[in-house]
Structure 1
């Protein structure tokens, strides 16, 4: 049957697929628009399967925070090339998936993939996007954060959308610039915990043993090495625990001292996501 240019354009506008792909889908479906869309979606699924072994190590990280700053989501959407990652439509999809995670609060990635935007599941939308763009595309992870009590959450996204931080404070924050400073501190210094009490005991034991062995190798007696190792452990806290780290904008004070001097509540928790990280 004859396929009109208007129908091809309409299908292309709805799906974003290539002109020839749209024309063929309409021809194969005898001009049925819904059937043609389904054919294109199936094509997208095949593309997805064909590209399953490709590396999707580019992409973007986006965040969504409630107006009252009580809940936030960070989500990483991956693709194969930096060119696609910078595409506005790709970023829009990432924000749409983050909105689903924000609204539905899925327990895991599989649950998120079953979430819906209008009549399509996130999984189906990813397949459509693969068919439209022609690259392997997937959601690698997402994080949901909620503030306790009267606490508030702030975010920081590093230029390029490849690194983001969510920080929850123990109470209301009067100065958003201070919150941003702390989030940037997390981005730059990559702490392992908010305070030393949160550091895993096995990590401390390992660091202490390493420090002690170094001192023994230097010829220090066992008793002295044991005490000196505790001093090295304090330096470990200063380098790896957020509140004890030197504030990057003013090395004369710790992050905790900076918060105190600015009248800002302490940090309750944080999430740091870097593109392609664990």
Structure 2
């Protein structure tokens, strides 16, 4: 492990803290109250503003804008932070904003995510681990995204929505309601559920019994024609024998916004 390597044309505020083996590219700006963990690489022409904490072994490519002020008219300059975990890949022209005082004060991005070119993570969002956001995917403010979620290109998520773990949102879909875990959404004006993310679950080691239970839960909620109240009763019964269905039901019960149906 060695000292940070900073290109001569880069500007690093004396109040920034760089870990061992951090590499800062040409013409990049690192502002005050920024902390970058060991082994992280920041490409050329990036800007990172604080208060921002970035973990270890991230790779931030050129022209990314990290930790900027939230795009929220209610923001009045209060202290608000951005916290990014470890081993994330953040590609060209990605923007990730800090939080707001009214929204909890922190935007969070977990570990091992891929945020591809031109993606946007707005203020007060919470992104889990091992997600993939394809080019131009956009989160409005206060969105919560679970682990292993895939957002295809040009996806837009409305503010305050929740996307459950292992969900897959198809290209160009606009999502204006909560998406339960494991569900696949396809573009149709606004996005609509189109089954479960069976291929993604297979890749992550879900066996046939787990997948079948999730399919039954999906059919109870989306195919049966039952009201949400009646579907909940059926899901409660199914959840007795499946932790995945329990997670599906718990997600439904925890939301404030309407469920995407």
Q: Could you state the TM-score of these two structures normalised by the residue count of structure 1?
A: 0.23
Q: Select the structure that is richer in helix.
A: 1
User: Looking at CA atoms only, which structure, 1 or 2, has the larger radius of gyration?
Assistant: 1
Query: TM-score normalized by structure 2?
Result: 0.24
Q: Which has the higher contact order (CA 8 A, sep 6+)?
A: 1
